[in-house]
Structure 1
Amino acid sequence: MSDVRNPPIAEVVNSALEQTIPVAHRMGVYAEEVRRGYAAATVPVEGNGNHFGVMYAGVLFTVGEILGGAIAVASFDTARFYPLVKDLRIVFRKPATTAVRAQATLDEAEIERIATEAAANGKADFVLRAVLSDTGGVVVAETEGLYQLRAHQ
């Protein structure tokens, strides 16, 4: 049972998706596991297909992109900083015909660098790479995003 006053980070991310990025929520993007330096999200294939029966490219882009925000929520002081995406590139490897899981990590040294730089300069850029796999473990896409942690004004 989770403490209502301090819900698990994945619940916070899912609530934020519903409120701030409703299109991702309607796609069924769901943060499964979020902790300091790690985020994983899934999206179902049902309702997210394209004209030839595989997952629509924009859905894959979305489930990969939201990981930057999820990791930021878990790794940095959200009362002081917020994340934004500056650039994101995606490479499609195989058609996705099942649900997809996207995963990304930031190591502790990089988290510390970002936090220190953001505290000193009001912002800090960071690169986040994600791997998107189908339910059989086949890599269907990879993303590389340039994100920024920025101080609240």
Structure 2
Amino acid sequence: MSTEKQLLGRRNFIKGASAASLLLSSMGSYGFEFFKDEKPKKVALIGTGWYGTSDLFKLIQVANVEVVSLCDVDSNFLNNVAELVSQRQKNGKKPKLYSDYRDMLKKEKLDIVLIGTPDHWHALMCIEALKSGAHVYVQKPISVDVIEGEAMVAAASKIQ
């Protein structure tokens, strides 16, 4: 294997391991208690591009989860990721597919929502997911400005 391929392989491993540890560490010690339950947590992903999909696959590797739905405006991404998810999750099921996150949040009872969309959508999606009762993981940057970030924190505080 060439040195360049080895570096890319190591970089991808480090990125993946970092994403998984960030996801769990962001929940603090509560994160481990949250996943202790034997019943799989119902997970959805909004934004099936590279970042969102990578976060989802790392979560599948480290926690007892069932991916029940995916949401994206790009049907090609959506269908490709649905196929990959069905191959990677324990039950082998394909998740339900949505093109509108609001429909998904209304129809699904979710434990966790991962948001991997472009950052200008993060605040709206995060606040709606919190209102639906889900725990939320948002790709960075979490918002485009401080006011959006504060609104996200305020929404999370109201839920608790």
- Give the TM bin, normalised by the shorter chain: under 0.3
State the TM-score, normalizing by the size of structure 2.
0.27
State the TM-score, normalizing by the size of structure 1.
0.28
Normalized per residue, the structure richer in strand is 1
Larger relative contact order (C-alpha < 8 A, sep ≥ 6)? 1
